[in-house]
Amino acid sequence: MDKTGKFIYFAVCYAFFIFTDLYLSNIMVENLLSGLSVSNPVFSLNFVKNTGAAFNLLQDSRELLIILSMIALVLLALHVINRLKSIPLKTCFFIALLSAGIAGNLHERIVLGYVRDYFQLNFINFPVFNISDIFINVGVIALIIIILIKKAG
């Protein structure tokens, strides 16, 4: 695939993921605020306004988290743009997923002043998280695996 095709692929993946993230988050929060209650031994849906980052780090550091998110998005975009010729499609896919997760949380921090978290694991002491967080974690883990496989090969 040529550079233009890869860029379009990346942009479409990113747009799809960000739309999916924001759309599903809106549905989840609207339903939770309207009284939806889900709880079982594995997970609960529990709406929480998070003013920090993962694991309650940097609470009430909105501006710093906005700046860090913007820097991360610019660096990821530059990485993709500068390596379009050699970057594999699966790497584009996972960078788009990671970027969409960062952008979803960034959007909420800018617009709402906090991030909306709602998934709570009941079988382990773990912070409440959202779809953006899932995208970020899956993207990071997949990219680490891709890097490790490339180095091993």
Q: What is the pLDDT of residues 137-147, one digit of tens each?
A: 999 999 999 99
Q: Which residues contact 71 (CB under 8 A, 6 or more apart)?
A: none
Separation CA 37–CA 99 (nearest Å)? 30
CB atoms within 10 A of CB 2: 9
- Please identify every stretch of the chain with a pLDDT value under 70, giving residue numbers as ranges: 55-56
Active-site residue identified among 2, 21, 60, 133: 133
- How many domains does the structure of the chain reveal? 1
Dig out the tokens for 7 from the structure. Answer: 């860029």
Catalytic-residue membership of 60:
no
Catalytic-residue membership of 21:
no
In the prediction, which pLDDT does 56 show? 67
pTM assigned to the model = 0.93
Dig out the tokens for 133 from the structure. Answer: 């967080």
- The residue segments making up the domain with residue 39 are 3-152
Separation CA 138–CA 152 (nearest Å)? 21
